[in-house]
Chain A
Amino acid sequence: MNTTGSNGVMQNAAAVYEKSRASFNNFKAWVQLDSTHLSDGRQLAVKYFTVAVILFFAQILFGLLAATQFIFPGFLYEILDFNVNRMIHINAMIVWMLFGFIGSVYWFLEDESGAEIVGLKLGNIAFWVFTGAVTLVVLVYLLVQIGPGKDSSLWFINEGREYIEAPRWADIGIVVVILIFFYNVVATFSKGKWSGIAGVLTLDLVALAGLYLAGMFYMTNITHEQYWWWWVIHLWVEATWEVLVGVIMAWSLMKLLGVRRKIVQTWLYIEVALMFGSGILGLGHHYFWIGTPEYWLTVGGFFSALEPIPLVAMVVHAVYDAGTHAFKNGNHPALAWIIAQAFGNFFGAGIWGFMHTLPQINIFTHGTQWSASHGHLAFFGAYATINIAFFYLAIQQWRGNVWMGGGSQNAWRWKWALGLLNGGVLGMTIALLIAGYEQSFIERAVEGSTWGGYFTAQNHPSFQHAMGWRLFFGCMTLTGFILLVWDLLTIGKGETRKAPAIIEN
């Protein structure tokens, strides 16, 4: 390469760099966020939240691409195939939720322990390593996509296992990052003070990280492989994640509504008992048809029939608290999203889960859009909502604990974002429910799940219409998301009133 050429490139690069720095500065001037309002620990938390929001966007974008391919199969064919889009869609979901959870824990860690975060520097390094690794993994998904049938593909490209596709090197990286996070949690509580919340959190994190290890091995025997794969997926979302949300909720109830610590902790223990008591053996509802013994039909059917109980208990308790606490709350969007969580979890996991969990009907719904219907409402209702609530809690403090209660400026934005996001996901859920019903009927029951039967069901007008509606409601979800981001960036800007302090008694 000659010198003038490389000089030109250098100059161009410098110009691009200058330009992006200038626009970044403009952006900073526009949002007017002042990080001095946040403690060092909370500054780390909002970094996690920022990446979570970006990955949430990636989730929605690639979901829309995949949904479009259901209607126009030629769209991006052999450029970004359905499996690539879908992999990024669900992987981005898992990772953004984990980022959100880690951020939430960092958010309340100092407050709950009464001490400054012990390994703040380490925590920051871990954040950048994690973010860098996620970027690299996504780039490889997009650019390399697949490899030959060798171990090296599983180590460096992807493992080809739904939800935990990340290549092996990234698995190890994730474990290291989680260990650093775990160290920070434990060391900070040890330096400050332990509490019931701290204890449950610590044990839950041990379980959460330990379960991930169960999904890191290659096995030829697909029955064994799927057996362990479900340990990760099910025992994450129906046990350890639920309890993690319980911990986050417990802390929020104390801070937002001023509920007493003793009550909150008693209820946390009740939830843990009910959740783990039903959820651990509820794992059996994934062992009906993968080659495992017949007793799982009974174990899975029975215990997953119990799984809605903790969710009912939570709703009742929430109403009880709301009824007995004449509370005044200075963060309406956060509270609204917390209420959305209670309902979303109850409907998505409790009702949608129970409808297809008994083996007598699951033999027909298994592996159809029915699962997707349940998956969307449950993941969104139980986990997206609570993370969004925390984004609002964070932005309120970032602005200097301003008033975000009734009579705020531009309140229509968060209300519309709430409505569009929930309405969009609910609309997609209903569309997929219709598709899944038709599929289990025609493909599974009548035609006996042959390839011909599969396509008969896919070509059926009711299925095709459902796919159209899913795309429509997907676009509605995207609109809600855009509004949400706009609102998060602007809410409380120029607000001078302070939020009322809520004292735990």
Chain B
Amino acid sequence: MNETPLWASESFWKKMAIWVTAGSFLILVVLTMDSLSKTNAGSKRVPAYTVINKKIDYQYDKTLHKSMPIIGENEFLFGKEYTEEEARQWVDLGKKTTQAKNCMNCHTLLGNGAYYAPDLTKAWLDKGWISRDMREDMMVKFLMDPESNARTYGSNRKMPNLDITEQEAKGIIAFLKWMSSIDTNGFPYNFKTIEAEE
């Protein structure tokens, strides 16, 4: 057994490595272009930022076997209808603020981040805000002064004060509302929204 067959030779595996890598990468690039175009803000999966003017819900769809965001009739945020550009600015301010305040190193967003505080994917729809009428107000107050408005559910874990201004708080809320409308393939599972009947 003194010669190396082709399939065990260095040159064969060198070529294999190159072709497999190039092939996989090419497929990834094609899938990336497809995915990005299907998830532009304003696509079916990722709604336009003006979705903050609408009522949003998240319900189990029997035929699809998963929960889906439901976008309903008008439900203005802070009592005002925003244009395309205004809505984008609000969401952008909110998104930027979540990064500048380092939210992701306590919370998860779309399930990614840290595990010290609740997931924010559907935070806008959470029952914790008690009712739709109280929600916006409660959220602004909480974000601006989490210490005094803490609801720790008996855990003693409180969000720190992050010097969030009122403008930034509103931006965050717009961002959270928009994020809750993204089609996340049914994650989180079995989530009962603030809209659901008891």
Hey, which bits of chain A sit against chain B, CB under 8 A? Answer: 66, 69-70, 73-74, 77-78, 81-84, 86-87, 145-151, 153-154, 157-162, 165, 196, 200, 218, 220-224, 226-227, 229, 262, 265-266, 269-270, 272-273, 276-277, 280-281, 283, 286-297, 299, 359, 363-364, 366-369, 371-372, 439, 444-452, 454-456, 458-459
Contacts and interface: CB of A to CB of B under 8 A. Distances in A.
Given A149-B93, A149-B168, A293-B34, A162 B39 contact: no
Contacts of B45: 223, 291-293
Contacts of A289: 110-111, 184-187
16 contacts: A73-B156, A153-B96, A160-B101, A161-B104, A223-B182, A227-B32, A227-B36, A229-B112, A272-B20, A293-B34, A293-B35, A364-B189, A368-B115, A452-B153, A459-B154, A459-B155
B100 A147 contact: yes
Central interface residue in B31, B91, B94, B102, by most chain A CB within 10 Å: B102
A455 B152 contact: yes
B104 A162 contact: yes
Contacts of B111: 289-290, 366-367
Contacts of A439: 115
Given A149-B97, A288-B185, 6 more contacts: A221-B39, A221-B41, A290-B111, A291-B46, A295-B31, A447-B190
A367 B114 CA distance: 8
A368 B107 CA distance: 11
A222 B119 contact: no
B92 to A, nearest CB: 4
A220 B99 contact: no
A290 B119 CA distance: 13
A158 B93 CA distance: 16
B65 to A, nearest CB: 11
Contact of B35 (A165, A281, A287, A371): A287
B112 A149 contact: no
B4 to A, nearest CB: 9
A200 B94 CA distance: 43
Interface in B1-37: 8-10, 13-14, 16-17, 20-21, 24-25, 27-28, 31-32, 34-36
Nearest to A266: B10
B106 interface: yes
A161 B100 CA distance: 9
A450 B100 contact: no
B10 A281 contact: no
